[in-house]
Amino acid sequence: MKGGFALEALARTRTAVFDKTGTLTVGGARILRIETAPGWSADETLRVVGSLEQASQHPVAAAIVAAARERGLELKTPSDVREAMGSGLEGNVSGRRVRAGAHEFVFGKPPNPWARRILRQASVRSALAVFVAAEEAPAGAILLADQLRRDAPRAIQGLRAAGVSRIVMLTGDRAETAEAIGAALDLDSVLSDRDPADKVAAVAVEQGLQPTLMVGDGINDAPALAAAQVGVAMGSRGASASSEAADVVVLVDEIDRVADAVRIARRTYGIAFQSMACGMTLSGVAMMAAAFGWLTPIAGALTQEAIDVAVILNALRALGSGRRWRRATLPTSDAKALREEHVKLEASLDRLRDIVAALEVAAPPAGVELMREANAIVSNDLVAHERTDETKVYPRLRRSLASGYGLAAMSRVHRELLHLAHLLSRLSDGLSDSDADAMTLRDGQRIIESIETIARIHNAQEEDIYEHATEE
CB atoms closer than 10 angstroms to residue 354: 18
3-state secondary structure 169-210: EECCCCHHHHHHHHHHHCCCEEECCCCHHHHHHHHHHHHHHC
Question: Is the distance from CB of 314 to CB of 271 less than 8 angstroms?
Answer: yes
Q: How far is CA 364 from the centre of its chain?
A: 37
What is the rounded CA–CA span in Å between residue 232 and residue 226?
9
Question: Is the distance from CB of 278 to CB of 311 less than 8 angstroms?
Answer: yes
Residue type, 31: I
Query: What's the CA dihedral at 296, 297, 303, 309 to 10 degrees?
Result: -170
What is the rounded CA–CA span in Å between residue 464 and residue 330?
13
Active-site annotation, residues: 19
N-terminal to C-terminal alpha carbon distance within the chain: 24
Q: How far is CA 221 from the centre of its chain?
A: 16
Classify residue 6 as exposed, middle or buried by CB count within 10 Å of its CB (0-12, 13-18, 19+): buried
Q: What are phi and psi of 78, to 5 degrees?
A: -80, 160
Question: Is the distance from CB of 138 to CB of 116 less than 8 angstroms?
Answer: no
What is residue 109's three-state secondary structure? Answer: coil
Question: Is the distance from CB of 243 to CB of 221 less than 8 angstroms?
Answer: no
Element (H or E) spanning 310, and its range?
helix 297-315
Question: Is the distance from CB of 348 to CB of 381 less than 8 angstroms?
Answer: yes
Sheet (strand 137-145) strand order: 30-36, 137-145, 128-134, 96-101, 88-93, 79-84
Residues contacting 47, CB < 8 A, separation 6+: 68, 73, 74, 75
What is the rounded CA–CA span in Å between residue 92 and residue 77?
9
What is the rounded CA–CA span in Å between residue 87 and residue 61?
12
Residue type, 11: A
